[in-house]
Structure 1
């Protein structure tokens, strides 16, 4: 529009001069404001009218609370019978007879949810099926609680003296459905996954009489007392429900038992009979383990103990602690290929330590009276962290694992927290105790950033530093062994539970060696962005170094799982097909856009193989050219260049006291031989 020209503005169907439209605009704005106010008032009045005639949503009442556990004896003994003989279909058929007190009309039965050792609510509720209840010879209806979905509410007919429950535990047939607990050769029966208990009672006050029918001719192992067998049906003494749940069963067609001394037994089931052929000198290391543990803790908190071990890749893996037993799985050939499978045997020593740490001694907020009250995990850095520490140490002291292997395990741990866990900048070790509830051990896209259950291994490195502080402060006269005796070695023979809190941990440490332990623990465990936890290794006479080949622990795992670990070079791990299975946050691969599920098709124009990838990384050390990768993501292919020239890098420990024994060496030295 030319300058000075009459501007035309639309007003209805008329064109007005600019000066006229200016006044008109003011008039229209005033009118619009009035209309807007009127509209708002009308809408408000309309909403109020609707509110007065149509009620808005209000919070519905929650179901009646589940009766809280009381420390009172339950009225009668529950009979629990399980038919575990159907290995073809992989199901457990359960019949429970539950007595009820006279006059009981409302009964709540619970499937265990918060299971000791799992550190979260992991009850496999969905695996129970065909659930039916009977009273006075007739089937009675039930209602599942709409909030606590593991609770079954029953209204009992007048005069009911007992309720019979019948249901099926549908054991997973493939790993995607859950952990496989029954194969053609073995089973692992865990009572809490296929039984109910009455709400309102401490589980230690509910007596149960257990009976199980097994496949024909199978050998049965458990810590339960009073074994009595008729054909393939086995019964045991009546036991309280808490200790029943704490006494799982391994059974199998290929089985053997060894006496390790001190009323400790090794009970093994295997996929094939030849896998049981352990050499006498290797079996002796497990006898050493028992002696070393008793020497370390100074007392035992079991009358007898059973290592339940499955040598299998058919049944699901497990490492779970109990007071008088433990559930363990190792690769099928871990005994007959002793040296080659050295990396795979730490589970036994770890779970044995838990008899003292986790079962006898337990964090005060982790102990619960039943399996409905949530557990709190604030002290898992003691429960699991110190167990991880002693699991390493006792494996070395006994020979269950070689000194070289245990040293390599510490090296792998040191490398992870020195360079492989950028999440340490924002998240403390103590906060990772929430990981079992937050994630339930499912895969995460960037574990190096989010962190996972680092209270285990970083916790072990913190306890290693505590040991070395005591050793240096007492000139070698004391170490963490003295803490172990003072903390775990009390009340010999008692196999109930004794709880502790942060202050007791500090007080006991201070009784061994005076130091500001509260600040030490809070800084290392509750602080973020702390220095890498290498101080204990350095005080012990070792340093973290990097080499171009894996240490024996990393090599054992990579060879067995057929992976290529490039975490500390390109910042990723690959499976046997060249697919990325993990990516280091802010590492070279990540920064080039290579993430999980990307497949490496070619390296520098050559078809991918592990050797080709290793060669390319090594060659790049003396070249300025980036490493060129052809990658596939979904249906798309692209060339990615990674400008990395640091070569292959793997963590190792190297002694700084060559030719001389140091604090770390003394820690791993036998106490009984």
Structure 2
């Protein structure tokens, strides 16, 4: 798979930020202050783990559809739920096993993902499989209307798919097998010089069935082909946890505010807001059936004031809390091109953030996934 592995890590505010995988190395670029605080370092750990996993999941074992023989043949991204989705799963789990991220932080991250899928309108009409098929278009799509359109969220949605697979492997084998066993078998190979071993979808099901017999295609295609969040949340529940909401802030979303300068209030009034420089207060996206959008808010508008006070995250949060007590709509003064409008946002349920809660009647397989291995 590789003779050695090298991470090239760039800390800079003057380059594009991404990770790019290779057989024996990766090009990883993050914000200049990404190592300054523990919550920010967690993001670096996840990026480095993600790109490292690609050495064997993506570079060594690669979907046959991504091996187009020439530029006249289109690439087939239908197995990106393995190439990227399983990589995302391990890219977030391995830092926990290594002690670089706490299990609590991981659960807050998972809750934020589940909460986002739970509120976005896009998954009500577009299945996850279609986001993989349209990846080459969605990668460059604008942030506006992402919640209604979906993005390349096969990365994040697949985490719940593979949690479901892990829990099912444990159940069908009476606890003798897990996703670790699938990885050992599916990605087995000799170390050394980079090699390439393609696969097709049936190979995934056959390997799973060799470990624990059963109809794996139906379970996985339920995640890929159905709309809504039933399969996704069922995957979370199969691991012994469920999505809940409370007024307590989600620590991962607060870190995201620092890392990406994005204010996430989609679970309450239904807004994602830019918090960076001159664009601070500009609406990135809206949840179309939530209060802000119903009042007329849309991507590109800039929030100037909230209830007569100059906009800030703190002022907005105070207004959300006040509306819960007074039952009076939140007044947003917004700028849209050359026009100003006052929107009356009838939201009265207060602060609402996603978290996870244990399901006592089910085994906690999520904690088993995150437990460090000695072998």
How far does residue 368 in structure 1 lie from its aligned partner after superposition? 2.9
Q: Which residue of 1 aligns with 2:267?
A: 568
How far does residue 542 in structure 1 lie from its aligned partner after superposition? 1.6
How far does residue 562 in structure 1 lie from its aligned partner after superposition? 3.5
- The whole-number CA distance in structure 2 between the counterparts of 1:473 and 1:661 is 13
Question: Relative contact order: is structure 1 or structure 2 higher (C-alpha 8 Å, sep ≥ 6)?
Answer: 2
Cα distance change, pair 532–614 in 1 and its aligned pair in 2 (3 A): farther
Does 2:154 correspond to 1:455?
yes
Q: Which residue of 2 aligns with 1:511?
A: 210
- The whole-number CA distance in structure 2 between the counterparts of 1:462 and 1:311 is 33
> Higher helix fraction: Structure 1 or Structure 2?
2
How far does residue 540 in structure 1 lie from its aligned partner after superposition? 1.9
CA-to-aligned-CA distance 1:85-133 (integer Å, 9 cap, x gap): xxxxxxxxxxxxxxxxxxxxxxxxxxxxxxxxxxxxxxxxxxxxxxxxx
Unaligned runs of 5+ in 2: none
Query: Matched residue pairs, number?
Result: 371
- The whole-number CA distance in structure 2 between the counterparts of 1:507 and 1:428 is 24
With normalisation by structure 1, the TM-score equals: 0.53
How far does residue 345 in structure 1 lie from its aligned partner after superposition? 3.0
Contact kept in structure 2, 1:320 and 1:351, CA below 8 Å: yes
Cα distance change, pair 444–339 in 1 and its aligned pair in 2 (3 A): closer
Q: Which residue of 2 aligns with 1:418?
A: 118
Does 2:357 correspond to 1:654?
yes
Picking from 316, 334, 338, the partner of 2:34 is: 334
Unaligned runs of 5+ in 1: 1-300
Q: Which residue of 2 aligns with 1:599?
A: 302
How far does residue 344 in structure 1 lie from its aligned partner after superposition? 4.0
Picking from 312, 316, 320, the partner of 2:16 is: 316
How far does residue 351 in structure 1 lie from its aligned partner after superposition? 0.6
SS of residue in 2 equivalent to 1:456? helix
SS of residue in 2 equivalent to 1:365? helix
Does 2:368 correspond to 1:669?
no
Does 2:289 correspond to 1:586?
yes
- The whole-number CA distance in structure 1 between the counterparts of 2:228 and 2:263 is 29
With normalisation by structure 2, the TM-score equals: 0.92
Q: Which residue of 2 aligns with 1:267?
A: none
Does 2:84 correspond to 1:375?
no
Q: Which residue of 2 aligns with 1:489?
A: 188
- The whole-number CA distance in structure 2 between the counterparts of 1:325 and 1:425 is 38
How far does residue 339 in structure 1 lie from its aligned partner after superposition? 4.4
- The whole-number CA distance in structure 2 between the counterparts of 1:370 and 1:496 is 20
Contact kept in structure 2, 1:354 and 1:387, CA below 8 Å: yes
> Higher strand fraction: Structure 1 or Structure 2?
1
Contact kept in structure 1, 2:77 and 2:135, CA below 8 Å: no
Q: Which residue of 2 aligns with 1:284?
A: none
How far does residue 371 in structure 1 lie from its aligned partner after superposition? 6.1
CA-to-aligned-CA distance 1:212-239 (integer Å, 9 cap, x gap): xxxxxxxxxxxxxxxxxxxxxxxxxxxx
Contact kept in structure 2, 1:418 and 1:532, CA below 8 Å: no
How far does residue 399 in structure 1 lie from its aligned partner after superposition? 2.1
Picking from 229, 235, 250, the partner of 1:536 is: 235
CA-to-aligned-CA distance 1:450-493 (integer Å, 9 cap, x gap): 11112111012111111011112223221111110110113444
Describe how 1:195-206 pairs up with structure 2 within 5 A: none
Does 2:345 correspond to 1:610?
no
Contact kept in structure 1, 2:143 and 2:284, CA below 8 Å: no
Picking from 201, 206, 213, the partner of 1:502 is: 201
How far does residue 327 in structure 1 lie from its aligned partner after superposition? 1.1
4+ aligned runs moved over 6 Å, structure 1: none
CA-to-aligned-CA distance 1:254-299 (integer Å, 9 cap, x gap): xxxxxxxxxxxxxxxxxxxxxxxxxxxxxxxxxxxxxxxxxxxxxx
Which entry has the higher C-alpha Rg, 1 or 2? 1
How far does residue 341 in structure 1 lie from its aligned partner after superposition? 3.7
- The whole-number CA distance in structure 2 between the counterparts of 1:415 and 1:475 is 31
Does 2:43 correspond to 1:343?
yes
SS of residue in 2 equivalent to 1:534? helix
CA-to-aligned-CA distance 1:347-379 (integer Å, 9 cap, x gap): 100011101111011111111345664321111
- The whole-number CA distance in structure 2 between the counterparts of 1:532 and 1:645 is 30
- The whole-number CA distance in structure 2 between the counterparts of 1:475 and 1:439 is 40
- The whole-number CA distance in structure 1 between the counterparts of 2:189 and 2:64 is 17
